[in-house]
Amino acid sequence: MKSEFPLLAAQPGLHYLDSAATAQIHRGALDAVLRHETGSRANVMRGTYALAEAADQAYESARTSAARFLNAAADEIVFTSGATAALNLVAHAFGAGLQAGDRVLVSQAEHHSNFVPWLMLRERQGIALDILPLRPDGQLDLDRLPELLHDQTRLVALTHCSNVTGAVTDVAAVVDAARRVGAKVLLDGAQAVQHGPQDVRVMGIDFYAFSGHKCFAPGGVGVLWARRELLRDLPPFHGGGGMVGEVGPGGFSWAEAPRRFEAGTPPIAQAVGLAAALDWMMGLDWPRLRMREAELCARLLDGLHDIRGLRVLGSMRADRRAPIVSFEMAGLHPHDICQVLDARGLALRGGHHCAQPLLAALGVEACTRASLALYNDAADVAALLDGLRHAAKVLR
């Protein structure tokens, strides 16, 4: 599997364990970008010559691939620069219809990308923000939903999978509770998409956001999916070329969705690369891959349990989490740990992982994170465990 990822193939001594931040790009996605840029590079919606029409076709084909990955319709797919942009789009466009007294529910587990935009909306429009707490095992405390949801709750915006604890949200329970008060549901899928295609119809949600660089595609592209009836009525977020119908001194008219939300030149080549990555992912045996990821995660958790002074954040059961494992080592700073590991060819991330409310809830200022993807293997896990034992000796 590593041979299909150019950087990993070129650096066989590297143990890359930071896929929760950025996954490595698949060779097929990289090749697709190169083919587009050297064979059909042109702007979309701008020309009637053959090259421009080829660019249009490639871009819209990418929209179809993203829709297929989510079991959605192509006209429900908005291309953005990433999950952060997609979440901000919802905060501005859906948020434009909210007013003082309306409520949005988020959780302590959110990445800042799904926390800060709602804080900004609270400052801008006076909405109320309710916070769903965590349980000690890092899971969302869904038992608190009945007391935190109100008739005035308009949106529940939660992570699909935590980027720190790997905890996977019980979407069915969230949707059921939200529907009882008439609230819409948004999921931040940035960490979930790396581990296989998602079905927004089965989940029964209203919005879904993810980034290309998390699922083996280029950076600079993301997807917002929204139900067609919702997308149709939302106002645009950005103004410019491509998102309008008619423009004059007296005003302008909006283009139909999804174009309404794609002002200016979109990430064309990046979307083409994303489509190639998603099409490749759609052809994989995900039940087998998820089982393999769970086995590696279990091996990692077992090994971490045996390291003195190390505390894993979240559940110690691999079947209750994605293969994202964060931990703290008593008396050692995560940055020091990561530097020692880097000298041994191990790439991990240390810090607050843009999830300060989550770490505060768990009583931690910073932690070290190892995140596994489909290209990792037992050798990566063994190297990490050996490296951590070495770091403990060197730094203590």
User: Is 367 noted as a catalytic residue in this protein?
Assistant: no
Catalytic residue among 161, 215, 354, 367: 354
Q: How far apart are the first and last CA of the chain?
A: 37
Q: Return the active site residues.
A: 354
